[in-house]
């Protein structure tokens, strides 16, 4: 995906602060953090939104969630608490159309969802 910012981050063509990587996932610090811990976990392969995730991608989604928990642990916010979320399409607040899991923590998050 030539014009995808997260594909470029995965390829190292746009700089990022890497937090974690493996064969299929890449995690990096959000450039406009909404909390002291704000990490994005993306698949290396381009998937636009959660709507485009297939049954075959399901194990990878599970590994994204597990990576989120491990990152929260490593960042010291696992016990106090944190939030993971996928924004989906414009009405769901998605602005970058390469699937990404937000991991937010390091402060007390408002109950519920705005």
- What residues contact residue 1 under an 8 Å CB cut-off, 6+ apart? 7, 46, 98
Our answer to whether residue 98 is catalytic in this structure is no
Q: Which of Zn ion, ligand AMP, none sits in contact with 77, Cβ below 5 to 8 A by type?
A: none
For tokens 């909390």, what's the residue? 35
Residue from 44, 46, 63, 70 binding Zn ion (CB under 5 A):
46
Residue from 20, 50, 53, 87 binding ligand AMP (CB under 6 A):
87
For tokens 């995690």, what's the residue? 27
Q: Are 29 and 14 in contact (CB under 8 A)?
A: no
Q: Residue 112 Cβ, how far from ligand AMP at the closest point, in Å?
A: 18
Query: Quick check: 5 binds Zn ion (CB under 5 A)?
Result: no
Residue from 38, 98, 100, 102 binding Zn ion (CB under 5 A):
98
Supply the DSSP string of 87-114, one letter for each residue.
Answer: --TGGGT--S-S--EEEEESSPPPSS--
Give me the active site residues, please.
100
**Would you tell me which residues interact with Zn ion (CB under 5 A)?**
1, 4, 6-7, 46, 98
């Amino acid at each position: 995906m030539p014009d995808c910012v997260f594909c470029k981050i995965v390829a190292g063509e746009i700089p990022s602060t890497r937090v974690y990587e493996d064969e299929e996932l890449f995690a990096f610090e959000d450039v406009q953090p909404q909390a002291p811990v704000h990490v994005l976990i993306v698949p290396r392969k381009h998937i636009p939104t959660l709507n485009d995730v297939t049954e075959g991608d399901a194990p990878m989604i599970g590994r994204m969630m597990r990576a989120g928990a491990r990152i929260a642990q490593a960042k010291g916010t696992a016990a106090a608490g944190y939030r993971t979320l996928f924004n989906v399409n414009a009405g769901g607040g998605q602005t970058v159309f390469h699937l990404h899991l937000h991991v937010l923590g390091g402060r007390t998050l408002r109950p519920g969802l705005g």
